Amino acid sequence: MFEVTVTRLDPGVPLPTYAHPGDAGADLVTTIDVDLAPGERVLVPTGIAVALPDGLAAFVHPRSGLALRHGLSIVNTPGTIDAGYRGEIKVLLVNHDPRESVRLTRGDRVAQLVIQRVERVAFTEAESLPDSVRGAGGYGSTGGHAIAEPQGERS
Ligand SMILES: O=c1ccn([C@H]2C[C@H](O)[C@@H](COP(=O)(O)OP(=O)(O)OP(=O)(O)O)O2)c(=O)[nH]1
Ligand SMILES: [Mg+2]
């Protein structure tokens, strides 16, 4: 297991915490109270900074429970924390609910940090690319998409 050095820019917040053994995401809290109107986005501080070893990156993901209950997500999901970044981790929250505001209180767990190995590559330019089975097909080229049902006919 890697050790990652963390500093608390706000001494009142917990370190990133895995809720269960085997969890991929360590929860991050907001250090501020915030009220997000429908459609509004707010950059919230977490009070945490990390020094990731080269070869790792951290990704700031939404929490599914808040997404389900309140429509709360992250604009740039997943946010990328570069190994060289030493600043405060911040979370760009967005309220996707069309009607209700989302009220968050200091200490609420608002996001989760997933640490992953990442590769860096040398980009080598060429006139053409080697053939592949997929080729340039994409954007639904394999078919099988659900067709929207008329209103009122969903079970
Ligand atoms: O959700 C996020 C995303 C990014 N960052 C910090 C860490 C990251 O290393 C830095 C830059 O992020 P990114 O590369 O995504 O943003 P950019 O718009 O490309 O900014 P820059 O020009 O500083 O790279 O901002 C966060 O704290 N939270
Ligand atoms: Mg960048």
Q: Which domain does 108 fall in, by range?
A: 5-117
Residue 134 domain-assigned (yes or no): no
Q: Is the pTM of this model over 0.90?
A: yes
- 54: tokens are 């080269």
Tell me what the mean pLDDT of segment 20-38 comes to.
98
Residues 6+ apart with CB under 8 A from 92: 41, 42, 43, 74, 75, 76, 79
Whether ligand 1 lies within 6 angstroms of the CB of 79 is answered as yes
Cis previous bond, 11, omega within 30: no
Q: Is residue 82 part of a domain?
A: yes
Residue nearest to atom 14 of ligand 1 (CA): 80
Domain total for the chain? 1
126 found inside a domain? no
Q: For a ligand 1 pocket test, name from 82, 86, 112 the mutation site with the most ligand atoms within 8 angstroms of its C-beta.
A: 82
Average pLDDT over residues 33-49: 98
* 100 within a domain of the structure (yes/no): yes
Interior/surface letters 53-86, b for 16+ CB within 10 angstroms, e for the rest: eeebbbbbbbbeebeeebbbbbeeebbebeeeee
Supply the pLDDT for residue 85: 98
Q: Is 63 annotated as a binding residue?
A: yes
Does residue 145 sit within a domain?
no
Tell me which of 82-86, 140-144, 147-151 is least confident.
147-151
Does 97 fall in a domain? yes
Give me 59's structure tokens. Answer: 């990704």
Between 68 and 152, where is the model more confident?
Answer: 68
Task: Report the nearest atom of ligand 1 relative to the CA of 74.
Answer: 1
> Is residue 127, in this structure, part of any structural domain at all?
no
> What is the rounded distance in angstroms from the CA atom of residue 17 to the CA atom of residue 33?
20
CATH of the domain at 12: 2.70.40.10
* Tokens 């659900």 found at: 146
Classify residue 74: in a domain, yes or no.
yes
